[in-house]
Amino acid sequence: MTFQELALRIFYAAQPLLPFLGAVGVSTCALLAALLLLSRGLWFDRPAFRWLGLFYGLGKYDCVRLGSAWVKLSLLLSYLIAFQKLEGIHYLVILIPSLLFSIQIRSPKGIPANLLGCLMELVGLGAANVVCGYIRDFHPGAGFVVVYILISLFLALYGVYLFLTELNVISNGRRILIED
């Protein structure tokens, strides 16, 4: 399979998810615009700096790590909200940012923990996919819908937890120099 065929297959598989991925893109742009507007005339003694302090002192690899962590969380939430049966290519798409983040970790002992967290996330997404497929194919009662909602809620919370853990990994390795 060539790269072009793989890219076309990914786009075809993502077609039902495009509205949700578009909403994530728009909300990300709105969040960045709000942060840009809040940063005018800002200095360290203001409370709003705590929100903007995330982006100060980031190197190029830290930006890649932050972007891959955000993409992974956005994809996970989009998959859960879209209520679509997932294919193998969807799991590959969510695995790529995780591997990219793991490659960029400074300490080698943090790599297995990050990969284990990603594996647990993928297994949970697979369980949600099985329940979603059963609901969509066989139209069961409200019990399976409640199970899907509970699994989705757990996965969303676990995804946010992993995102915050990855932010902690990013912020532990950076230096911010303050000059008067």
**In the chain, where the domains are located:** 3-172
Most confident of 13-22, 81-90, 118-127: 118-127
- As a whole number, the mean pLDDT across the chain is 78
What average pLDDT does range 62-90 have in this prediction?
82
Q: 115 or 51, which is more confident?
A: 115
Q: Can you give the pLDDT at residue 106?
A: 66
Longest C-alpha distance within the chain, in Å? 66
Q: In this predicted structure, what is the pLDDT of residue 180? A: 40
How is 113-165 classified by DSSP, letter by letter? HHHHHHHHHHHHHHHHHHHHHHHHHH---HHHHHHHHHHHHHHHHHHHHHHHH
94 Cβ neighbours under 8 A, 6+ residues apart: 72, 75, 76, 79, 121, 122, 125
**What is d(CA 36, CA 112) in angstroms, rounded to the nearest whole number?**
36
Statement: residue 120 has pLDDT above 60: yes
